[in-house]
Structures are given as C-alpha cells and as structure tokens.
Structure 1
C-alpha cells in the first residue's frame, strides 16, 4: 500500500526528556510545520504515547510515523534523524481498524470508546467477576468466573493479551483474540479466536456485588453492567513503518521469542 509523496512534516512528542530532545533534534534539521499543513505526523515517545497520538489524530487523515523515544517501541520505528524524508517516502502503510466498545453502566449511562489494542474487562473488588459471554447473539459461556476478559486486535495481541497467555495474531488474519484473565471456571477454558466480523457481548452477573470496569486502550468506564464490542471499519488509522521493520514482521517474530 503506497501513500502520496511526503514533503511536509509535523511532529508531536511526549513530555519525557528523551522525547523532547528528539523533537529539538528534528526541529533543527527539518522545517517542521503545523498539523493542518503536513503530509505526515511524527510521534516521538513510547508505545503508550503512540497509542495516544493515534487516538487524538486519527480523524486528521494524516499517516502517523512513530519514532521510539521510550522503551519497547513495538508500534514505533527506530529514532534516526538522518535521511528522514527518504525513510518516510519508502515507509509501508498499515491501516489499523479499531474496536468500538459500547458500555452500559449500572446507573444507565451509555459510553462508547475506540481501542486499537484491546477492550478489557477487569474486576474491581476482592471477589471474582462473573461474566456471561455471547457471540453474535448466541450465548457461548453462561458464567465465566475470572479476574477479567479481553478482546484484542492483531496489533494489540502482543500487548496485554500476550501477558494473559493469549495468542499472537498475524496481521491480515481477520481474527480477534478472546482471552480470559485468570479464569477460575470453566477451569480449562483458555479463550478463543473469533472472526473479526463478530459482535461480542459481555453481561456482568451480580454487578452490584462484583463490580467490573471496562477499558478501551487507556479509556476506562467503571461499574459496567453490559458491554458490546465489534470492529469499526469506518475510522482506520494509517500507521507508517520502515520496510525492514514492519509491524507484520514484528508480530510474526514475537512468536519465536523464548
């Protein structure tokens, strides 16, 4: 997938000293412009800042090129100010479709939010959560007793999903990961792979006594009673990666790290 020629660069950076130093370096070497004038938006920081940038600027229509000024930098390219315009114009585009979460709280409030990594439900008391799981309107688990459960995208499958022993999902596989967090009953249920077209519903049982929160990436809603999740194809985010360090290759390589 290609993109139009990039000549004008806008840049945002996290407030860490390392990211701010990177911003100063780029500003000295390139004539940075405002976002509305730019062909690309560069994000300097870690994976968390990259996700924040995607959420804040996804509707701008600009491709986003992250450069790692954090730690892991899974969603980011190597920071290197040399030949930046050449790298930007050779970069590969990945269109990431977010999940849309619609949560209904015990008080009757309805809240919607987008997630590019995962939507996660977690217990908010000392007692385990009890959750009914339905897929495309059909009950699949009458009562999951657990610390929580999540739906992860391929891009997010190497994040929280992986730490909860969920599967790594290659890009383009058109599936989502349904992964429990510390499941107690059914004891042997380890999750499922779902078609990306699926609509997933979670009903919180005994929600007053066993409170549960729902989060879409970093956005959190507490005391939820019912949560619906599906993939949103109307608002993709366009992320740029260097050809020799593509997101697809990184996700693939994660399966061989031990």
Structure 2
C-alpha cells in the first residue's frame, strides 16, 4: 500500500523571489501549519535555513531547503515540479548543535545554540587576547587575534573555512577550533577536537580589549568567559536531493580551487 504524501509547511525568507516562490508552491501543493507538517520546505539562502532549523528546535521537523537566496550550500536547487517525490526520495543529514554558555563583565550568564559555529570576536580596533582550555586543561595561555571559533562539521564549510579552518565530514564526530587572524602565536592554525571536547575561552584584559561571543545569530557583548560543547542529545535533520547528499557537497568542496 502506498504511503500518503508528506504534509509540508512552506516558509520563505523576506527576499521577493523567495516570497514569490512560496506563493507558487502553496498553489501547487498546499501548506499546513509548521506544527502539523511532516517536512518544512524552506525557501531562501543558507542563513534562512539556519533560521528555520532554530525555529523548529522543539519539534525537530526535517527541513528541505530550496535556494532562493544568495548562498545555497545547505539548499537544494529550486524546482517546482515533482516536489513531493523529491522530498520522499531525499537523503537525510543529521546535525548536532553547539551550546554556548557565556558570562559577561556585568556578571550575567546567557546561553545559546549554534548550528554552524560559536565565534569570539574583538569589538574594537584592538586585538583580542584569549586563554583557551580543552576539557579543563589550558592548551594556549594567550592567543592574540581578531577572534577564534568552534565549528561543527555542518558549519566547517562556512565561517570556519573562510578563516582557513579544516573541512570536516559530517560523520567524523569532530569539532574545529580555528583562530581568526592570529597574531601571536602567529603560526598557530587551530586544532581538530573530539566532538566530546569541552572548550573554554577566558578573555584576557577584557576591560581594555572587549570581546563579543556569537552563536549563529545570537550575539553577547563584553564577555569574560565562554564555554562551548556539543549537544549530542539534539538532532536536527536536513533533507537533500538524491545524488546530491550533504556528504558529497562537503567532499566536492575540498577539491574546489
């Protein structure tokens, strides 16, 4: 007996082309509320894919993205024909976010989840100074830099790659610890860590060299300490067209000049 077609909820970024595509797809396939959907169809770019995944953290509904934005590494090609069949045949990429716990100069504690990366960034013209510990052991007494980040495998092709960090296959169970414009030690290029590693940053000279911490789109300013760990208990699912898996995209990226 054939299974019923998946119930989809169609959402879109604010870009005019995404909104127009949403109206066309709803006319062709309909759309249910996100709370009732088997799959969410997200129309936009990679940023909107992250927004959609964050918005569905509690339900963890699989998300099938189609590119109607400027960057589409996390998206499928936009095609209107055969959408439900494509969704049924799609492969799954399961990702686990990072949890960021940050403490500010004012003594406030805030937390956030990051699907791509947690970044520490200098706030002023002066470089940041960071002490880095892994699993409770200090590994770098002082890193002078523009910043530093911890990236998931899914996020390793984003900001991490631009900062010359390594690309990590999705099933590698590793995290990338990557400096951003390191000044001292100048030749330190970062580290590959187990996905179980707990990374802690202490901001040195925080009053003179303020630093912000960013978990995807959440920014916390003037932090003094930031702890980062993977949330293996949270599993988020992206769907990719058959033959164009996320793993294949990551592999192809490593052979792109």
- TM-score higher than 0.5: yes
Match of 2:86 in 1: 87
Displacement of 1:72 after TM fit? 2.3
CA distance in 1, matches of 2:27, 2:4: 22
* CA deviation map 1:182-228 (0-9, x unaligned): 10111111101001100000000010110000000111000000000
Corresponding residue for residue 136 of structure 1 = 135
Regions of 4+ moved over 3 Å: none
TM-score, with structure 1 as normaliser: 0.96
Which residue is equivalent to 1:118? 117
Correspondence for 2:44 = 45
**More deviation in 41-50 or 5-14?**
5-14
Deviates more, 1:6-15 or 1:197-206: 6-15
Q: CA separation in 2, counterparts of 1:91 and 1:114? A: 26
Q: Which runs of 5+ in 2 are unaligned?
A: none
What SS does structure 2 have at the residue aligned with 1:245? coil
The CA distance in 2 between the partners of 1:5 and 1:209, in whole Å, is 61
Residues 1:201 and 2:200 are matched in the alignment: yes
Q: Is the 8 A contact 2:98 2:230 kept in 1?
A: yes
How many angstroms apart in 2 are the aligned matches of 1:157 and 1:174? 12
- In 2, the alpha carbon distance for the partners of 1:15 and 1:190 equals 38
| 1:243 alignment partner, SS class | coil
1:10 is aligned to 2:37: no
1:76 is matched with which residue?
Answer: 75
Does the C-alpha gap of structure 1 residues 177 and 184 become closer, same or farther in structure 2, counting only changes over 3 Å? same
2:19 paired with 1:20: yes
The answer (yes or no) to whether the contact 1:135–1:199 under 8 Å persists in 2 is yes
Deviation per CA, 1:51-79, whole angstroms, max 9, x where unpaired? 01110112113111111101220111111
Match of 2:176 in 1: 177
Q: CA contact under 8 A between 1:170 and 1:251: conserved in structure 2?
A: yes
1:233 equivalent in structure 2 = 232
Could you say what secondary structure the match of 2:167 adopts?
A: coil
Counterpart for residue 63 of structure 1 = 62
**Distance in 2 between residues matched to 1:121 and 1:161, nearest whole Å:** 12
Q: Give the Cα–Cα distance (whole angstroms) in 2 for the partners of residues 30 and 94 of structure 1.
A: 24
Q: CA deviation at 1:81?
A: 1.3
C-alpha distance in structure 1 between counterparts of 2:106 and 2:5, whole Å? 48
Name stretches of at least 5 consecutive residues in structure 1 with no aligned partner. none
Query: Match of 2:53?
Result: 54
C-alpha distance in structure 2 between counterparts of 1:163 and 1:44, whole Å: 25
> Is contact 2:146-2:180 (8 Å) kept?
yes
CA distance in structure 1 between the partners assigned to 2:4 and 2:187 by the alignment = 52
Deviating more after overlay: 199-208 vs 36-45: 36-45
